[in-house]
Amino acid sequence: MAKAKIAAVFPGQGSQYVGMGKELAEKHPIVAETFAEADEALKFSLSRLCFEGPEEELTLTRNTQPALLVTSVAIFRLLEAHGFAPDLGAGHSLGEYSALVAAGAMSFADAVRTVRLRGELMEEAVPPGQGTMAAILGLERELVEALCREVAGVVEPATYNSPGQVVVAGDTEAVHALMERALAKGARRAQLLKVSGPFHSSLLAGAGQRLGEWLASIPIAPPKFPVYSNVTAAPVTTPEEIRACLARQVSAPVRWEESVRNMVAEGATRFVEVGPGRVLSGLIKRIEREAELFNVESEGTFQAFLQEVARER
């Protein structure tokens, strides 16, 4: 029987909160050093924004993306220093960068600068108010796809999160029309998301192209453990493939449900959510009920995870 594998998963936008990483930075030098490294790379105090806010500044896409990456990588480094070595990994949207840093494919400083740029490009791609996103709950993905094709204007599946949860993105009017149709077809809920644009839709193709030009200028190495791409739901193995997938990811749907299923098929039975919140743990539980889930975002959750690992040695 194949050995059970452990996967590290990294959260994306929406999991941020004021105070994330603060307690661990106060207790563990490796966490504090990681935040200091990010401040140096960006030439401003991202650490203060994470620890103290204000929330309206933290939730700006250009700030949220590096803030989440830094917090997740700092926690991963802390875990790694205590012997944690995942067999495979993935990240949700922005979280894919955290996974690639953890796997040694991209330097931390390059990743921080890249996701800062990514956030700026995504914010600027569509004028404010002209694009949005909505979660459709309780409909099969095929039905959501069919409804998108019926609506005038641009509205497309943006993330396939879990069974019965598809997020759509596009022109604001088209998204509202899709929500009405989805409810008429029996959706349990259709909910607008608090986002600044229609992320992971074709409206961001230009942003992806500009990001691709930047990615061509930074060194990328093969990952030391398999990292599953949002775009293909399969491991990316070469620098060329990583660059191409990261550029496409901005305007392509996030295939999270498939990624988790493929990691399970590869032997993953335990998932550690490394970073703020438990959004991914909730999605994974709906995809694979038998999965064993952990999250590490605070001193308490860090110690609980260490005790669980120690008990098995």
Catalytic site residue from 47, 200, 251, 259: 200
Show the CA angle centred on residue 101, arms to residues 99 and 105, nearest 5°: 105
SS3 at position 96: helix
DSSP state, residue 300: H
C-alpha closest to that of 97 among 69, 60, 138, 131: 69
Residue 262 has which token pair? 């493929």
| Residues facing 136 on adjacent strands | 166, 190
Strand order of the β-sheet with 268-274 is 235-236, 227-228, 88-91, 5-10, 268-274, 292-296
Catalytic site residue from 47, 72, 93, 201: 93
Four-point Cα dihedral 233, 236, 241, 245, nearest 10: 40
Cα(36)–Cα(97) distance, rounded to whole angstroms? Answer: 19
Q: Is 200 a catalytic residue?
A: yes
Cα(9)–Cα(95) distance, rounded to whole angstroms? Answer: 8
Cα(49)–Cα(128) distance, rounded to whole angstroms? Answer: 23
Length of the chain: 313
Q: Is 93 a catalytic residue?
A: yes
CB atoms within 10 A of CB 305: 18
Q: Tell me the CA end-to-end span of the chain in Å, nearest whole number.
A: 20
Half-sphere exposure of 134 (CA within 13 A, CB side): 26
Residue numbers annotated as active site:
93, 200
